[in-house]
Amino acid sequence: MTPMIDVVFLLIIFFLVASHLAKQENSVQLDLPVADTGLNNATEVESLVVNILPDGQWQSGGISLNLQSLAALLRSRASASTDPLRLKIRSDQNITYDRLEPILKEATAAGIGDIVFSVYEAQGG
Q: For the whole model, what pTM was predicted? A: 0.67
pLDDT tens for 46-57 read: 888 888 888 889
3-state DSSP assignment of residue 67: helix
pLDDT tens for 8-56 read: 888 888 777 766 555 555 556 665 555 556 666 666 778 888 888 888 8
87 Cβ partners below 8 Å, 6+ apart? 47, 48, 50, 74, 103, 107, 112, 114, 115, 116
Sign of dihedral through CA atoms 5, 11, 14, 17? negative
Work out the widest C-alpha separation in the chain, in whole angstroms: 61
3-state DSSP assignment of residue 115: strand
